[in-house]
Amino acid sequence: MDLPWGGCEIALVCDMRIASENARLGQPEITLGIIPGSGGTQRLQRLIGLAKAKELIFTGEVIDAQTALQIGLVNRVVPLSSLMGEAEKLAKKMVDMGRVALGLAKAAMNWGARVSLGEALHYEIECFSQCFATQDQKEDMAAFLEKRKPQFQGE
């Protein structure tokens, strides 16, 4: 199944991507005399590297799901029949984590990808420190010591 025009660019905005084994992904805009116009030229290179992104964008090649997995365009490939179940399982796993820590980890990673390593490490320390001011961190530590599952409140 091919993603609709613009579908790959929508997928690039996601933190993680799960594809069915029959999925086909690409940036074929060049075949129409245009370029990806919704962030594809920027997000794709950040995800899979400049050289591979140039290859896909400059040729308009559409790739299969296994190739997308090999180059890091998708995180997982699953049978079409289990696609939604796998996506829900992954989402549930993340929902069970502390929202504050998850948000701070995402912020640190996204910001860190755009700055020098030194700046990124400094920001990571700030985010790490913020975790200790949350109720979720206190709950998680208590749950660990009491050998139970934490009950995060997002605070």
Given 21, 29, 55, 61, the catalytic residue = 29
Q: Is 29 a catalytic residue?
A: yes
Residues 20, 77: contact at Cβ < 8 Å?
A: yes
Q: Is 21 a catalytic residue?
A: no
Q: What are phi and psi of 18, to 5 degrees?
A: -115, 130
Given 9, 61, 88, 155, the catalytic residue = 9
Q: How far apart are CA 155 and CA 151, in angstroms?
A: 11
Query: Catalytic residue numbers?
Result: 9, 29
